[in-house]
Chains A and B, each alone.
Chain A
Amino acid sequence: MATVSITKRHPAKVHGSRVSRTAKPGAPRLVATPGRFGPWGGRYVPETLMAACEELEREYEKAKRDPRFKARLAELLKSFAGRPTPLFYARRLTKKLGGAKIYLKREDLLHTGAHKINNCLGQALLVERMGKHRVVAETGAGQHGVATATVCALFGFECVVYMGTEDMRRQELNVFRMRLLGAEVRGVDSGSRTLKDAINEAMRDWVTNVRTTHYLLGSVLGAHPYPTMVRDFHRVIGQEARKQVVQAEGKLPTAVIACVGGGSNAIGIFHDFIGDKKVQLIGVEAGGRSEKLGDHAARFQGGLPGVLQGTYSYVLQDEAGQIASTHSVSAGLDYPSIGPEHAWLADQKRAEYVSASDAEALDACKMLARLEGIIPALESSHAVAEVIKRSPKMKKSDVVIVNISGRGDKDIGILRENLQLD
């Protein structure tokens, strides 16, 4: 079939109308979006969402200074979530590794089984202040989804959780828990069917229902104010740990280790140590099954600066700027970008980012279960894997805190598929 040639048939080109593109003189100077960590972060969302982000930012700024808000949050964290969580001395693990004295920050003991509830309670109070009644959220491992469903039940909000169908398969127990709590779980079948795709779908819902709906984002990702706000709600982890370690050891730790997906538990425990330059901060990414793009989620070892889902950070992507697929045995770590504050901490060399492979994480999970009677979540097992590598090279006078961000009950199915028990 011959192609239609507009030019030949219409010499005057009447069917086309060039767009006028003359710039007006004296265009205004633009102020970059707020919420920057060095160059990272910002607010890159479609215009429809700008007003909602601005509203949330205003409301959060007001709430932060409101003593009643702070008091209610503190009370819920204590009586509902179970704070403070203990700092536990891992005697047998310490002895086995023969190096630094190892402490575990027990976020796995919190209500719902992970640190995620800290942020969900904070945001639920904001939803109430904003007069909204519907909450949407994304979830990867299901921990954030469960925490969201829990606070929605507590506050009486309608709750929709988006979850990749691949993750629903990996974390079917959490899917049932969310439904039991009254949430609607919507499977997401697009893209890689994991966390990133669930975020896309939650953002689409938010864009559509923005006037009544709050997006309860579960990590230090997305557009401002989320990375700052979510961090603030998790800072309590580091505040407690700092006090507890000083009480137990009479000094600050040599190192603090946490796993990093989006990076919420890590930034939470790191934050109150950032000013203590001698305390090493170590984030552990998912090394997956190989170093090939698509086989891991180690953003600092393969990522390039880019914008994904509202924020500017390191992003795993191809040369055309398409977001790469990722892999990790743990559904909570396989996100192709990383919280912008982590990008800044890495640039400043204030924190160090390493990775642990699937196999190392599985071994670490088993080791902690057998030596300490604690089954950590597969996400947290990545942090345990790092202390197993690092501790033997450290001095006996060194003290290390490992954040056990969640418990492993949700991972029993995957552990059973992957571990040979003797």
Chain B
Amino acid sequence: MSVSFRAKPSLVAYLTCGDPDLSTSREVALAAIEAGAEVLELGVPFSDPVADGPVIQRASERALRNHVSLEDVLKLAAEIRSESDAGQIIFTYLNPIMRMGVEKFAAAAANAGVDGALVTDLPVEEAGEYLKHMRKHDLATVFLAAPTSTDERLKRICEVSTGFVYAVSRTGVTGARKDLADDAQKLVQRIRKFTKLPIVVGFGISQPEHFAAVGKFADGAAVGTAIVHTIEQNPGKEAQAVAELIAQVVGRRSSAVSP
């Protein structure tokens, strides 16, 4: 199966699974797709999320109070798959995969119907075993590319990435920011030299203006912290609130672009 990102940009929606509980995550995911998200990043809660800012840290802590595991997230992915064909990427730190076993993880992910994974703290140098098992199950291996990555590293990242390349818009942990650094566009141009894969820009996108701006130079824009924050702020009506947020972020673009 090979479907490219349709919209320009496509909205990639991140959520920490199990925050506040798994059935809410399922509703939020489906509502996000309904509102215009083309790809879901299903975040696996981790006790020590070094690459995440306070909003996603708190979401992880809430999910871990219910002992939500990688296995639970894969079950959730299968449930979402039974209702939608939207792309699904497992977004995780390495240790939960190591504990499950890379081989078992790849098989379980394929079985759940997910499209691929992004492992935050797994650099390309270390990915040999992981790539082997992911390839065997025809799963996409998405890697991060950062403004601080050298051209040599970007080349290596592009060589082993499938699905898309995730461009970190600026240095820092996840978190909504008021303005997007020029870093993002420059980075996308640098990555473009090495790959024809879609490029998704993430880390800090929360406003329709960001989304429209990213659309000028990238294929997708990931919205994470803004969604997780919305979930935190709207207990009992999480799905509806996230749907409204996504419609708003995407909407400005469609009204500006439509004739």
Give chain A's interface residues, CB within 8 Å of chain B. Answer: 3-7, 9, 13-24, 27-33, 42-52, 190-191, 196-197, 199-200, 203-204, 207-211, 304-310, 315, 317, 319-323
Interface residues on B, range: 35 or more
Q: Are B173 and A208 in contact (CB under 8 A)?
A: yes
Q: Are A46 and B99 in contact (CB under 8 A)?
A: no
Q: B6 at the A/B interface (Cβ < 8 Å)?
A: yes
Residues of chain B within 8 A of A33, CB atoms compared: 123, 125-126
From known contacts A32-B126, A43-B125, infer whether A306 and B85 are also in contact, taking CB-CB under 8 Å. no
Q: Are B98 and A20 in contact (CB under 8 A)?
A: no
Q: Are A4 and B30 in contact (CB under 8 A)?
A: yes
Complex Cα–Cα for A306 and B54 (A) = 24
Q: B140 at the A/B interface (Cβ < 8 Å)?
A: yes
**Which of A18, A31, A304, A315 has the most chain B CB atoms closer than 10 A to its own CB?**
A18
Complex Cα–Cα for A15 and B144 (A) = 25
Q: Are B48 and A321 in contact (CB under 8 A)?
A: no
Residues of chain B within 8 A of A317, CB atoms compared: 95, 99
Complex Cα–Cα for A202 and B138 (A) = 37
Q: Are A15 and B146 in contact (CB under 8 A)?
A: no
Complex Cα–Cα for A246 and B71 (A) = 57
Residues of chain B within 8 A of A19, CB atoms compared: 3, 39, 87, 89, 115-116, 140, 163-164
Residue of A with least CB distance to B122: A44
> Of B149-157, B206-214, B221-229, B251-259, which binds chain A?
B149-157
Number of inter-chain CB pairs below 8 Å? 234
Given A309-B48, A320-B99, 17 extra CB contacts under 8 A: A6-B86, A7-B82, A16-B85, A20-B140, A20-B198, A28-B156, A30-B160, A45-B50, A48-B146, A50-B123, A50-B153, A190-B54, A191-B47, A204-B50, A204-B173, A319-B99, A321-B100
Give chain B's interface residues, CB within 8 Å of chain A. Answer: 1-6, 10, 26-27, 30-31, 33-34, 36-39, 46-54, 57, 61, 64, 67, 69-71, 82-87, 89, 93-100, 115-116, 120-128, 131, 135, 138-141, 143-150, 153, 156-157, 159-160, 162-164, 168, 171-173, 197-198, 239
Tell me the minimal C-beta distance from A338 to chain B in angstroms. Answer: 15
Residue of B with least CB distance to A192: B47
Q: Are B71 and A320 in contact (CB under 8 A)?
A: yes
Q: Are A47 and B168 in contact (CB under 8 A)?
A: yes
Q: Are A321 and B163 in contact (CB under 8 A)?
A: no
Complex Cα–Cα for A305 and B95 (A) = 9
Complex Cα–Cα for A308 and B50 (A) = 10
From known contacts A47-B149, A50-B149, A319-B99, infer whether A30 and B125 are also in contact, taking CB-CB under 8 Å. yes
Complex Cα–Cα for A402 and B71 (A) = 46
Residue of A with least CB distance to B69: A320
Q: Are A46 and B48 in contact (CB under 8 A)?
A: no
Complex Cα–Cα for A305 and B101 (A) = 11
Complex Cα–Cα for A309 and B144 (A) = 17
Q: Are A16 and B150 in contact (CB under 8 A)?
A: no
**Which of A28, A47, A307 has the most chain B CB atoms closer than 10 A to its own CB?**
A47
**Which of B39, B70, B135, B146 has the most chain A CB atoms closer than 10 A to its own CB?**
B146
**Which of A16, A27, A32, A209 has the most chain B CB atoms closer than 10 A to its own CB?**
A16
Tell me the minimal C-beta distance from A86 to chain B in angstroms. Answer: 40
Residue of A with least CB distance to B138: A21
From known contacts A16-B87, A33-B123, A50-B123, infer whether A6 and B33 are also in contact, taking CB-CB under 8 Å. yes
Residues of chain B within 8 A of A190, CB atoms compared: 54, 57, 61
Q: Are B143 and A47 in contact (CB under 8 A)?
A: yes
Complex Cα–Cα for A233 and B5 (A) = 51
Shortest beta-carbon contacts, A-B, top 8: A16-B86, A321-B99, A21-B140, A321-B96, A320-B69, A16-B85, A13-B85, A6-B84
**Which of A9, A13, A44, A208 has the most chain B CB atoms closer than 10 A to its own CB?**
A44
From known contacts A6-B30, A6-B84, A32-B126, infer whether A15 and B99 are also in contact, taking CB-CB under 8 Å. no
Q: Are A200 and B50 in contact (CB under 8 A)?
A: yes
